[in-house]
A and B are shown apart, each in its own frame.
Chain A
Amino acid sequence: MNCLGCAACVAACPVAASDGRYAGPKVLGPALERHRDGGWPGEPALTPAQVEALGARLCLGCHRCDLACPSGIEVSAAVRWAKTLAASQPTGAWQSFRGRLLRDQERLGRLVALAGGTRRLLRRVGPRLSRRIEGQVAGTLGLSPYRALPLASGPSLARWLARTRDPVGERGRPPVLLFAGCHARFHDPGVGRDAARVLRAAGYRVLLPTQLCCGSSALSQGDEELAARAAEANLRFLGLASARFGGGVPVVSPCPSCTLALRDTLPAFTGSPEAARLAEHVWDLGEFLAGPAREALMGALDRVGAEASARPVAPGRPWLYHTPCHLRALGVGRPFPALLSALAPSTARDAGPASDGCCGMGGLNGLTRDGHAASLAAGAPVLEAYRTLARENPTVFSDCPVCRWQIADATGLPTAHPVERLAVLLGGCEESLHDH
């Protein structure tokens, strides 16, 4: 490693800036090099307790250190090593079950979906009682009682896609594989439905292949085994779905964390050539809509143009865009604000350079009982910048579900995925932009 010790990574780290328990990316990354991979001759191996004491597990996995490093070191991968070591400490059975639930989005998502009916019923019977019970259950599972788990509305994504399919019309259209992500599959199918609507309007045939959680939360919580299994399964499912059309079908995801995992993190982590080949066809939804689908999308928007201005979702409503850290890490630019600005330039708002930081949520970290306060502290500068715009009450668009979650919780501003705005402009959307 060519670490200069310049500390650009520390300056870019939202946790180092807000949490005195965290030793920072320079110490946990490059500085531990001599102890990694068996260690240099004569260097003692580190114990899990030692890296735990350096705060290894407080890393949010935002990848800002990677982008800051002038020597091109992937600092976050080195910090992940320390995290994995810290996570290897043996724990009790109950704690390990809880930990597993938190890093296995698939399991958590299924559980939340399973409880959906009961929760809906409870809310109808007694809203206050239901909130208290949900808080109790969440607390027992290690989740913060201050975070309300979302309650999915409308049909599941798979059911909706099957129901709204146009088997004749879509014949001959270029296919895309929608990698919806756990949030759209379990908690907020509206985003998945709108992604499909917009892709269809741009002339694509949208398929929802069998898929599991991308594995990014497992990796970020130091469970490499689970991440490897998820990567392998998704590789198989997506490969099969793509092979039906002769291979090379674009895989499009509305979630930047899923895209980053499929495209960068997991191929590097597993080292599998198939994963690297698949990665070539993985697109961020915004990148895809602003890239290959741009002309068709603009054409579709033009066709409904006259109608759109008469729609109840006023074009005059102010909005701004929050850039998720994982979208930055993908290096795809900010495709959605470019599209939205072209459609509604005068209503764009700017919360200033302070809002370019990390919201602090860090995947599941901010949802947990232990991580809630730290996540608000890490995101404080960004959240404060948005709060200053509260009087105008702009909609905060962000591709990342947990950024939206954090911003909605901490500022009270309405949030939405930018594809929801595009779906509204295209018409045929059954719900208005919603709060989280």
Chain B
Amino acid sequence: MLSSPKHNILAIITAPEFSLDFLWTLTFIFLTLAMLCFVGIFLIRNSIGAKAIRTKNKKMEFSPMISEFLFYEESNDIEEKKNYLHLKIEIRELIKDRFDRNVFTEVLMDLRKDLSGESKEALIHLYKDMGLHNDAFENLKSRRWQVVSKGILELSTMEVNESYSLIIKFINHRQSTIRKQAEIAVVNLKEEGITYFLDTTKYKISEWEQLKLLDVLRHKPNFEPPQFSLWLTSKNADVVLFALRLIKYFKQTDAVKSIITLLKHKRRDIRVEAIDCIKEFYFVDALPTLKLVYPKASADVKIAILDTIGEIGSKNDIGFLEIIQKREKNFNINSKVIGMLNKINPESILPTKHIETEAFFTSNLNDNALTEDEIKTVTDEFLEESKDVEADGAITVNENETTYASILGDQDEVTETDNYENIAEKQISMDIVPPVSEENTAFTNSMVEKEDEEENREPLFTLDVSLQEERIDTDSDSTSAANSSHQQEDIDWSQIINKDIPNLQLGHAIQSDEKPFISFENGAISFSANFMDEDELETMVLLENIAEMGDRRELFLLNQLLEENESPLILERANELIEKFSHQLSGPNELFSSDDGLKNSVFTKIFHLSDTATKLILLNEIEDIGDEKEIRLLESLLLDQNKWIAKRAKAIIEHIRNKINEKECSETILKVTLLPVGFELESDQNLTNALNQKRKI
């Protein structure tokens, strides 16, 4: 008889066996704990609530009693005196209970914050009269820091001077809250407290503590501050810092040398505080030290020093500030220096950034066709202003700017030369406009922008000198040469033309037959900044476009331009670009730009960006889905340094080739089987030959 096969089930994960009783026990325990927890919280909450209510009621109970006490006057009638005595006894009875005593103290402490004058004095008297300070003394002995701290605060608030000797012990307590409370109490309780504190404190004095202590001293009646300079020699740097601040606050000017010495302190905040003191007290003797420490100071200290020099310095310090202005690269510091220079010597430095050139405004004058007299007036005024400004030593004009002075100076020269001496009644029209043609404008502006986009983009200029009596024959070589040489001498073109056109040959441009540099039309000389012929200009525009948008692919074109052109300007620019693009890294696409076979494969790009592991994965993919497009890529990998990749590439090439052959065979067979009816069938031998031929191919 057949029996069913036995199945042995092997459990990989088996559930642990738990005793149900144990689970019930755990449930009971946790439920009990939860209940206890809830009950505990409920009781504690109720207790706190009840205590708060009780405290509030007690406070309201004590409040009129305390008021009665505070506003009791000796002049009151006998009845009131009796009441007062009864009340006193009643309070004494009440505060026998510790809770009531605490509440009573709490009320007094609260009121102490809100009351001043006689009421405050009466309150303190009541506190001491009831002997509540004894509780505070007891608190000082406690091991709990909160209790000690509370005791110190109470004694300090209620001004129990007797506690001073007890509290000073806590000045260097390791518990920071006690220490801080003790510091305030010591300074508050006695006048000599501050000196004791500064003498003995070993710990850091935080900014908050310093402020608090200063506040205590500030509100101390009849406080006579000690000579805080005594603590400038303290070994505790925080004491030195606090002493400096106290010196500044209480205006103690007796520590000039010590403060000057502290300019060299290692701590930055002390140096800054010392600088503040020097500025506040006008310590002129500190100027040499300020200059001495300046170079190695941090930026904020430098600014503080400059601020102080600006405040207390004189014209003797201008030299130092000017040197800093030249050397300093930090914008904030540099701005500060300029500010201070102007503070010491008002308006010694005038605005230079984003200021239009004078020429910009005179172009408008030209548009409105000013008469000769008007122009002369304007130019004369400008010349005078320029002289004044130069005389003041003010820096007003950039190197690159075209000044009226240079232009007008040249203009005068022109009238004095032989060729122009007969030119009378000339109408000067100075246009600061882009040079002549649109191409030129584009070119020039692009050059200017390259240097500094924020610089004044107002372009070069043309000078139109209208002639009334005589025209100059430009065809004459001698005249043109004379003109050109004269022009070169008289007009400082290096100022006019942007520095980005270094090798510009003006003479050459002027002698150009096609577009003369100086043209005469309708009795007017036109100085046009037409420095190159149109072909050159087009090439330059092309080069600028390449510079802006091109990459290393333009190298071929650039080399071609180098061969075709002779203009030094073009050659230089092309060389610059070749140099620039030669250093560019090749992009993944460009790596194989010369090899179209590699481009065919979609894997090429990603393959050359991958690490070895990824490359191997990609090779697997190529094996699976690749076709003849991948063969060129695989062949390039046969010489790969990594043997694995080379070996794998070789195997895949074979695999793909086989795949292609199989595919072709099947296609051929398919073609043969689908030949149309009546088609003359080739013999098997012919078919095989054709296949072999194809394979060879």
The answer to whether A and B assemble together is no
Q: Which residues of A contact B (CB under 8 A)?
A: none
